[in-house]
Structure 1
C-alpha cells in the first residue's frame, strides 16, 4: 500500500487575480507564510460537463449523464512521472477550494508559479512570430520541430536544474518524450516558453507545464473502463496523435518525440533514451496507486497505457533515424 497524495485545501489562502485565457476558471492563490506550500500557486478546477441526450433518451425521460473530466489527476500524475524522468516541470499538487460565486466546493490542481520573482515570461508563440510572419498559433502553422530549435538557438536550459548548462532545445526534446509517454496532445506554442533574468538579461527555457489533457483525462471513467474491458488500451495508445505541430494533419506523439530527439545533440539523445528505458514501472504504478478517487479500471487503464507507450518509445528509439 502507498500513501495517497494530499489534496490541499485552499481555505485561508489569499485569493489573487484570475488567469486570462483558456476555458478554465483559473485563479492565483498565495499560501500563508506558515504553510509548507509557501508561495504563489495557480489553481485550475477540473471541468464538469452535462452531456447532451439523444432525442429518444429525452423522450424516455432519462437523466443527463455528467462527465467529470480528470485534468486534476492528470496534472498531478504527469508531474510525478516527469520527476521520474528527471524532466523539469512545474510543481503540482491536487487541491480544493470553496468557489465564492457559487459557494460550492470544487476540486482541481494547483501549480507553483515557475517564474522567479520579477523574471519575464515569453511564450513560444511570441518567439516563433518574431521569426515567421506567417506563424499562426491557432492553426499551429509554423510550430515545427525545426522552428522551435531555431527559436531556442543560444538559449540555455531551465535555471536551478541539472540542465542549466544544456541547450534549451536538448531539454525541450525531453518534454516531447514526456508528452509521448503520457499521451499529452496539447503542447502548443503557448504551452512552452522562456524566462528572462531582469538583472543579467540571461534567457533560459521554462519548465514543462500544463499536462491536463494527458492520460485520456477528458474521456470519462466509463470510456476508459470500456477500453480496458475490450482490451483496446494498446489500440488507443497506437492512435496517440497531436495537431499542435506542423499546422496540418495530426502527427503521432511518438513520431514528434523521436524527430525532436534526432534533432537534439548526441548527449541529449543518449540521456533521454536512457531515462525512458530505465524508468522503474513499479514506481510509476505507485504514482497511479497514490492518486485518490480513481476507479480500479481507470487505474488499470493508466498502468497499461504507461507500459505500452514506454514500449512504443523504446522500439522507436532503437530504430535508426533516416
Structure 2
C-alpha cells in the first residue's frame, strides 16, 4: 500500500494571503520555483470543531481532485501538506501565466443578459444559500461563448458541457458549495482569444469532511439520518438560486437537469464516466490516506457509491 505523501511546505515562500473565503489561506511557492502563477499553490490548514475534533478538509479536497481525474473532469492538482506543524492541503493555481481569471461572480455580473445580483452586496445571503440570479439558466447564458478548459481534450464539448461534468462530480462527492466564487472563466491576458472555463477547484466541502466518527458510525449503521441514503439525500443544490416558493432540488437532480439541456451525447458521455467508477477503485483511493480512520474511509466510500447509484437510477428514469 502506497499512502499519499504529505509535503512539508514550512520553508516555501509566501506569495500573498488569500482574501476570498472564511478561513485563513496562503498562496505559496517552492523556494526554487519561478514566481509564475502555475507555480503558486493555495495552502489551507485543516480546521477544528469547538470540541477540538479535527475536520477532514485536507483529505476531502485531495480525494475530490482524484475522483475528478478518474471521471475526466478537469480539476486543480491537490497535495496533502503541512506548514509550521499545521496539517492541511495545497491546491495548484488553475490560472497560468497567459490567462486572467474571472470568478463566476465577476463573469455573471459583467454579462448584461444575465439577471444576477453581485454577491459582494449579498454575501450574507450567499452564506445562507444562493445569491440571487446564480441560476443554471444564468450560468448557461454566461458560458455560451466560452470554450472547455484548456486541458480538456473532447473537441465537441464547450464550457457548459464540462460544467455539467463538474455538477455530476459534486453529486458524487456530496459537494454542496459550488457557489459563484467556486467556478471561474479564464480569459487570455493578451489579444482577443477564446475564453475558457477554469478547471474545478475549492472542493473541500465534500464527503462529510466536517463530521465526527461517532456521527459517521451512526449513519453507516442506519441509526441516524436514515442511513447513508438518507444522509446523501439531504444534499440539495442550495448554491443555485430557484424562483421564490420553488423547493431546492438535490445535487443529483440539478446535475441531470443541466445535462438534459445539452445534446444527448453530453449526458451520455458523463454518465459513461460516472459508471466507470467501481467500488474497488474508490476503496483503494481512500485506503491511501494514512490519516483517515477506518470509519471515515468506509463512510466516504459509501457516499460515493451510493451517489453513483442515485445518479444511475435517476438518469434511467429521465431517459425512459
The alignment's TM-score, normalised by the length of structure 1, stands at: 0.87
Q: What is the aligned counterpart of 1:212 among 199, 204, 207?
A: 204
Q: Count residues in correspondence.
A: 299
Deviation at 1:250, TM superposition (A): 3.4
Contiguous gaps of at least 5 residues in structure 2: 120-125
More divergent stretch after superposition (274-283 vs 251-260): 274-283
**Residues of 2 paired with 1:172 and 1:154: CA distance?**
14
Provide the aligned C-alpha RMSD in A. 2.0
**Residues of 1 paired with 2:180 and 2:62: CA distance?**
22
Q: What is the aligned counterpart of 2:101 among 112, 118, 121?
A: 121
Q: What is the aligned counterpart of 2:233 among 228, 238, 241?
A: 238
**Residues of 2 paired with 1:296 and 1:133: CA distance?**
46
CA contact (8 A) 1:182 1:215 kept: yes
1:311 aligns with 2:272: no
Tell me what 1:76 maps to: 62
CA contact (8 A) 1:157 1:165 kept: no
Deviation at 1:220, TM superposition (A): 2.2
Deviation at 1:294, TM superposition (A): 1.1
Tell me what 2:40 maps to: 40
**Residues of 2 paired with 1:163 and 1:193: CA distance?**
20
Deviations 1:27-74 (A, max 9, x none): 011113379xx8210101111131xxxxxxxxxxxxxx3232111111
**Greater strand fraction, Structure 1 or Structure 2:** 1
Deviations 1:216-269 (A, max 9, x none): 111222211221233611211222213101256532111111111111222211
Tell me what 1:286 maps to: 284
Contiguous gaps of at least 5 residues in structure 1: 51-64, 99-104
CA contact (8 A) 1:156 1:164 kept: no
Moved over 6 A (4+): none
Deviation at 1:165, TM superposition (A): 5.7
Matches within 5 A, 1:37-116: 39-50=39-50, 65-98=51-84, 105-116=85-96
CA contact (8 A) 1:75 1:92 kept: yes
**Residues of 2 paired with 1:196 and 1:128: CA distance?**
14
CA contact (8 A) 1:49 1:66 kept: yes
Deviations 1:262-320 (A, max 9, x none): 11222211110111112233111111110121111111111111111000001111123
Tell me what 2:269 maps to: 271
**Residues of 2 paired with 1:163 and 1:184: CA distance?**
25
CA contact (8 A) 1:70 1:220 kept: no
More divergent stretch after superposition (67-76 vs 216-225): 216-225
Deviations 1:165-189 (A, max 9, x none): 6210000000000000000000001
Structure having the higher Rg: 1
CA contact (8 A) 1:281 1:307 kept: yes
Q: Secondary structure at the match of 1:320?
A: helix
